[in-house]
Amino acid sequence: MTIRLGDVAPDFEQDSSEGKIHFYEFLGEDWGILFSHPADYTPVCTTELGYTAKLKDEFAKRGVKAIALSVDDVESHQGWIQDINETQDTTVNFPIIADKDRKVSELYGFIHPNASETLTVRSLVIIDPNKKVRLIITYPASTGRNFNEILRVIDSLQLTDNYKVATPANWQEGEDVVIVPSIKDEAELKERFPKGYTAVKPYLRLTPQPNKD
Ligand code: BEZ
């Protein structure tokens, strides 16, 4: 199955390094990051999972739960977690799904047969509290993901879900944002953006991030 932005994220039950996971119960009302990696005991994946563990407080601040996945089994995950903890100077604090039968990988399209017939690719899906898919990325096996970018996307999604704004290229928390083009009425603009705005072009209007003092 192929999932696309806006789809409802498929629910599932599967084994993991922390026991059986019922995905929707695991997520609860939080945001979720489900990310696949090609295999346990591989160098890039070791750094990715270690870095993700170190972001625990950043995820908690944003109400996000992380969960990893590969087609290795629980025993393999548990042994590898010890290596990650040792080499990355952290404690893995999220489950790794043991998708031996590829049930979840197939639901989420994490196997790309032309890349590998058997291994999951390096994909990541952001799921919102309504269980909607909000971001899908897939990286080559040779390139580790930038998890700071994932936090940046979550900040953008959480902001733009609540205000009629979008975030420009390379935006970082606290920087100016753009007003969505559909708002044209001056009274509405004043009400929604009391700090004012700069119209660089009629369609490109910058305003201070609305939820910052
Ligand atoms: C890695 O995680 O290091 C890796 C996995 C598959 C292919 C190449 C690198």
Q: Which of 21, 33, 45, 64 is catalytic?
A: 45
pLDDT (0 to 100) of residue 213: 79
Report, at the CATH architecture level, how domain 13-145 is classified. 3-Layer(aba) Sandwich (3.40)
**Is residue 45 flagged as an active site residue?**
yes
Q: What is the pLDDT of residues 4-59, one digit of tens each?
A: 999 999 999 999 999 999 999 999 999 999 999 999 999 999 999 999 999 999 99
Supply the pLDDT for residue 2: 85
User: Quick one: pLDDT at residue 17?
Assistant: 98
Q: So what's the pLDDT on residue 115?
A: 92
Please count the residues of the chain: 213
Q: Point out the ligand 1 atom lying closest to the alpha carbon of residue 43.
A: 3
Is the C-alpha dihedral spanning 61, 47, 8, 178 positive or negative? positive
CA of 44 to the centre of ligand 1 (A): 5
Give the model's pLDDT for residue 149: 98
Our separate counts of H helices and E strands in the chain read 7, 11
Measured between alpha carbons, how far is 73 from 55 in angstroms, rounded to an integer? Answer: 25
**Which class would CATH give 163-207?**
alpha beta
| Among the listed residues 131, 213, 207, the one whose alpha carbon sits nearest the alpha carbon of residue 164 | 207
Task: Tell me the domain boundaries of the chain.
Answer: 13-145, 163-207
The pLDDT value recorded for residue 39 is 96
Q: How far apart are CA 133 and CA 5, in angstroms?
A: 5
What residue ranges of the chain have pLDDT lower than 70?
none
| Arithmetic mean of pLDDT over the chain | 97
74 ligand 1 Cβ < 6 A: no
If one counts every other C-beta atom within 10 angstroms of the C-beta of residue 117, the result is: 8
The DSSP secondary-structure symbol of 207 reads: E
Within a 13 Å sphere around the CA of 148, how many CA atoms are in the beta-carbon half? 4
Q: Indicate if ligand 1 lies below 6 Å from the C-beta of 38.
A: yes
DSSP 8-state assignment for residue 29: T
pLDDT for the residue 44: 97
